[in-house]
Structure 1
Amino acid sequence: MKIGYIRTSTDDQSGAGQRDALRAAGCERIFHDKGVSGGAVSKPQLEHALQAASEGDALVVTRLDRLARSMKFLIEDVERIGGLGIDFVSLREAIDTTTPGGRLFFHISAAFAEFKRDVIRQRTKEGMAAAKRAGRPVGRPPSITDDRWPGIRQMLDGGMTITAAVRTAGVPRQAIYRRLDTDASTTLAGFSQR
């Protein structure tokens, strides 16, 4: 059985063109996620479509971007679909994992995606090592800079609660805890957490 999947990014899009194409392709059931971004983690109707499918069925979309916005997520989704014993078909790109050519396409794409991730990881490690050698800070800058900390510390020493200091200074609670933890002359026990 062919099961169609439609995704529209806004609630006011009808998906009629996708529905017509999926019916013409022989889809017996069609599931529609309305107002769901391609990058969304949760696609409830996609999950319903996969639950409705049996091993040997095919999930059909009109275009690859209806399933996922990036190659990484597309490959992950198609591998998950394949792991359920369900084939995948994209009409516009003429991709059909029921054929050897369609499966080959995804294996090659997966290999390239893994290679790209490895290259990015390696470049990141090299960049961090170079920054450390040059004495530059690595990672995100601190939420509380050294010039702001004395003012926040003064508020706390004056009896202000941590919650009030968070609101007043506009900094994350954890950032205050980290600074207090690294401040040798202070223990958290001396401050009210409310």
Structure 2
Amino acid sequence: MILGYARVSTDEQNLDAQTDALTAAGAERIFADKISGATRERPELAKLIDHARGGDVIVVTKYDRLARSLHDLLEIVEAIKAKGAGFRSLAEDIDTTTPAGRLIFHVFASIAQFERERISERTREGLDAARRRGRVGGRPPALTPAQAIEVRRMRDEEGRHLTEIAHLFKVSVKTIRRV
């Protein structure tokens, strides 16, 4: 049996393109999650793996619909394999029911993981370089140092409530608490 799995990250996104492609690929049943790929608990994916039997093939439109990291992808495909089923990704033309497909799967997964790690590394390097030049990342403070002193004075000397101070400075109570 061919079983399909579709996933989008948010409720606002649409599964139609994936389900159409999976149906065209022969999927007799499609399991679909609307949840981030980084989330380990995906109810429909769990049902799919539980439902899989020997000889079944689990199909996705792209392998990043199944997992966001190499570790997770390999773990999920291993769980599929343990059920006696195969894995197929339409976009990457990967089919783990063949030796060549298994080789290609591992090569693609390794390249994807390498690229994610390089992006992360370049981002860290850029942030470090900016810090060395005196730049500080993040949002600018909501209050100036002089305003922060006034906030403390109003609270300590005048005994004003945090909500009132926040209203006067047009900031959230949380900002006033941080000061």
Q: Is the 8 A contact 1:75 1:109 kept in 2?
A: no
TM-score (structure 2 length as normaliser)? 0.63
Residue 31 (structure 1) aligns with: 31
Structure-2 change in CA distance of 1:159 and 1:28 (3 Å): same
Aligned equivalent of 2:139 = 141
- Alpha-carbon shift at residue 60 of structure 1 (Å): 1.5
Which residue is 1:21 aligned to? 24
Q: TM-score of the superposition, structure 1-length normalised?
A: 0.59
Say if 2:76 is the partner of 1:81: yes
CA RMSD of aligned residues (A): 3.9
Identity %: 35
Q: In structure 1, what residue type is equivalent to 2:144?
A: D
Deviations 1:133-165 (Å, cap 9, x if unpaired)? Answer: 32322x323543425424543543333334555
For 1:4 and 1:98, the matched residues in 2 are separated by: 15
Structure 1 distance, partners of 2:19, 2:133, is: 58
Q: 1:151 to 1:98 in 2, by over 3 A?
A: farther
More displaced 10-residue stretch of structure 1: 37-46 or 51-60:
37-46
Per the alignment, residue 5 of structure 1 pairs with: 5
Report the CA distance shift for 1:141/1:43 in structure 2 as closer, same or farther (over 3 A). same
What is the CA deviation profile of residues 105-141 of structure 1, one whole-angstrom value per residue up to 9, with x for unaligned ones? 332223323332343343334334433332322x323
Structure 1 counterpart of 2:171, one-letter code: G
Residue 19 of structure 2 contacts residue 30 of structure 2 at CA under 8 Å; is this kept in 1?
A: no
Q: Residues 104 and 131 from structure 1, CA distance in 2 versus in 1: closer, same or farther, beyond 3 angstroms?
A: same
Gaps of 5+ in 1: 180-194
Contact 1:78 / 1:88 at 8 angstroms: preserved in 2? no
Tell me if the contact between 2:49 and 2:80 (Cα under 8 Å) persists in the aligned partners: no
